[in-house]
Amino acid sequence: MFEIEIFTKEGFKDSRGEHVLSKISEVEIKGITKVDYASVYIIDGDINKTEAKTIASELLSDKITEKFEISSNSDSKKSKSSVIEVLYKKGVTDTVSESVIKAIKDLGITKEVRVKTGHKYYLHGNISKTVLDKIAVKLLANTLVQEYKIK
């Protein structure tokens, strides 16, 4: 299983991260200095690292403005910032994943894959778990259909 994260490259405006930061200040939460946004694609199936890299570079990221990071389930990632990950709950149709599966086949990778899509928000600053929960529920996740994890 590979987790592919897509970030905006340095030097380009991370509109989504900035938008979330401004929403956080609107609800009067203080102490957060920056938010970095990453879209997340979890790809499960019989694909190897080279194929995961092709999917990330040719399909999931924009060559001009974005960069990607690939981790497999054996990797343990440590981040200096607090991370809120938002994914669909089990049983909720993930329409983007269906498009990604089709597009992977268009790329010429015909192996069966399962895909989950989501969002990661890297919050920089001094933030308590209670505040992270508040941000997740109030601003980032629709808890009717999505679940979130704080990492």
* Min CB(42)–other proteins separation in Å: 14
Contact segment (CB under 8 A) with other proteins among 45-53, 98-106, 131-139, 143-151 equals: 98-106
Q: Based on the shown chain and the rule CB under 8 A, indicate whether residue 13 belongs to the binding site for other proteins.
A: yes
Q: Based on the shown chain and the rule CB under 8 A, indicate whether residue 96 belongs to the binding site for other proteins.
A: yes
Q: Which residues of 109-143 are buried (b: 16+ CB within 10 A; e: fewer)?
A: beeebebbbbbbbbbbbebeeebbeebbeebbbee
Return the SS3 of 99: helix
Stated as kind and residue range, the H or E segment containing 66 is strand 66-72
Q: Based on the shown chain and the rule CB under 8 A, indicate whether residue 64 belongs to the binding site for other proteins.
A: yes
Q: Based on the shown chain and the rule CB under 8 A, indicate whether residue 95 belongs to the binding site for other proteins.
A: yes
Contact segment (CB under 8 A) with other proteins among 24-32, 52-60, 83-91, 143-151 equals: 52-60
Measured from the CB atom, the residue of 19 and 111 that comes closer to other proteins is: 19
CA 63 to chain centre: 18
Q: Please name the amino acid found at residue 71.
A: S
Question: Residue 137: which of 24, 34, 33 has the closest Cα?
Answer: 24
DSSP 30: -
Q: Based on the shown chain and the rule CB under 8 A, indicate whether residue 106 belongs to the binding site for other proteins.
A: yes
Binding site for other proteins (CB under 8 A): 12-13, 15-16, 18-19, 58-60, 62-65, 95-96, 99-100, 102-103, 106-108
